[in-house]
Amino acid sequence: MAYLPQELITKKRDGGALSGDEIAFLVGGMTNGAVTDAQISSFAMAVFFRGMEMDERVALTLAMRDSGDVLDWSHLDGPALDKHSTGGVGDNLSLMLAPIVAACGGYVPMISGRGLGHTGGTLDKMDSIPGYTTQPDNVLFRKVTEACGCAIIGQTASLAPADKRFYGIRDVTATVESIDLITASILSKKLAAGLDGLVLDVKSGSGAFMPTHEQSEALAESLVAVANGAGTKTSALLTDMNEVLGHAAGNAVEVATAVEFLIGQAQDPRVREITLALCADMLVLGGLADETDSMEKVAEALDSGRAADTFGEMVTLLGGPSDFVDSYRTHLPATPVTRDVPAPASGYVTTMDTRQIGLAVVALGGGRTNPADPIDHAVGLTHITDVGTKISKGDPLARVLARTEDQADEAIRRVTAAVTLGDKPASRSSIYRRLAPTGDA
């Protein structure tokens, strides 16, 4: 049915609820060009101020999902499962989670994004591996997913194209910060992957995308309700981003820590707790385990080395070195400059401005200020101190891997300014809350 876009914008501007047909018309116009940039931005602003009811959010998500290809994995002998994180610093969980779930019988066709602002992107991390292709054609993507159970690749133009246009307009019209629109944007892309189950890792804290804990929680609730309303079994964890996850932030350095985690060489306890909790929820969503044995299954897949083997197989099938898991250090790029960040005083690490740590990595060249910028995969931070650690003046707060001495000086300044030292030990968190699937998706 045809409508006049301005009539629909008026209805939303005045606080009305749009029908599924009306929303589908607007989204169709975003994809075929029948709705102008001005109309899309007015619609976004109307939603920003008036909000959307649950039915409208579900309709918007489904219309955006269906604006391009929707993958189908129904021929596989196990469930298609995935995770989405709202983004953080040092958040390399996807690299461990995908092979763990694959080693438990799930299929993880993981379509990931690049870094956004201060947060890192899974795709940029995987691009650190020489030869690994993050943009395979559909045939190779399917072949790898079927052969080893997981494939971590990049967004293609044919998935949720309406979101690409809509997000580009929101980005320049001050309308990104709408939970209704963020929900539809994130889920349209994830649900286009044709999943049987989805877990969400919604971050809260100084390095999170949402500015307050309450808003992170509201986003988690909206994502879970809408994804289940759209027919995909979905749960979420609300997790801490008041400090870097693990001890490294950058691209190649996070691939290295992921391999070390998978082979059992170094496992940060918070990273292990959150990763296994997300994996366990994925098994339950996919019917591969129940609440009583899911944790045991994922821990066995990791601790037996099966997940590490799966990761190695995925890397090889997507063009990377066949000995990557054994020889990752020789394959990953390195920097000429390594400098420690000396603590300016003695005391406990009480707070970390995680966003500023992420921006220190961006300033080193490890992230982008413009979407088209190239990045330096080798630079980053390692040995980042945990919140709560007692240190003496001059002890390292972190290690900087830089291309030049000037960049290292700048990163040292930024990291020093981002960490607060005090005289009392600070408490730390990992998982704040679990949100179970709603309804009967």
Residue 125 catalytic?
no
Residue 82 catalytic?
yes
Cα separation of 89 and 93, whole Å? Answer: 11
Residue 306 catalytic?
no
- Under 8 Å between Cβ of 65 and 160: yes
Give how many residues touch ligand URA by CB under 6 A. Answer: 6
Sheet containing 396-402: give its strands across: 249-250, 380-382, 396-402, 337-342
- Within 151-190, which residues bind ligand URA (CB under 6 A)? 167, 176, 181-182, 185-186
- Within 186-245, which residues bind ligand URA (CB under 6 A)? 186
Look-up of token digits 């307009």: 169
Q: Name the active-site residue from 12, 114, 190, 399.
A: 190
Minimal distance in Å, beta carbon 177 to ligand URA? Answer: 9
Residue 390 catalytic?
no
Helix residue ranges per DSSP H, 192-251: 213-229
Q: Name the active-site residue from 84, 118, 233, 270.
A: 84
Task: Please identify, using beta-carbon distances, which residue of 114 and 125 lies nearer to ligand URA.
Answer: 114
Task: Give the β-pairing of 108-112 and 233-240.
Answer: unpaired
Residue 122 catalytic?
yes
Task: Please identify, using beta-carbon distances, which residue of 67 and 407 lies nearer to ligand URA.
Answer: 67
Please, which contacts does 391-395 make with residues 24 or more away whose CB atoms are closer than 8 Å? 391/343, 391/346, 391/347, 391/348, 391/349, 391/421, 392/343, 392/346, 393/342, 393/343, 393/344, 393/345, 393/346, 394/342, 394/343, 395/342, 395/343
Task: Please identify, using beta-carbon distances, which residue of 200 and 418 lies nearer to ligand URA.
Answer: 200
Type and span of the H or E element at 34: none
Task: Please identify, using beta-carbon distances, which residue of 21 and 214 lies nearer to ligand URA.
Answer: 214
Task: Please identify, using beta-carbon distances, which residue of 155 and 267 lies nearer to ligand URA.
Answer: 155
- Under 8 Å between Cβ of 400 and 342: no
Minimal distance in Å, beta carbon 171 to ligand URA? Answer: 9
Q: Name the active-site residue from 170, 203, 331, 399.
A: 170
Task: Please identify, using beta-carbon distances, which residue of 116 and 417 lies nearer to ligand URA.
Answer: 116
Q: Name the active-site residue from 82, 180, 201, 281.
A: 82
Decide: is 435 part of the binding site for ligand URA (CB under 6 A): no
Cα separation of 314 and 403, whole Å? Answer: 30
Minimal distance in Å, beta carbon 238 to ligand URA? Answer: 16
Cα separation of 386 and 350, whole Å? Answer: 9
Crossing angle for the helix pair 252-262 and 306-317, nearest 10 degrees? 140
User: Length of the chain, please?
Assistant: 441
Q: Which residues bind ligand URA (CB under 6 A)?
A: 167, 176, 181-182, 185-186
Positions marked catalytic: 82-85, 122, 170, 185, 189-190
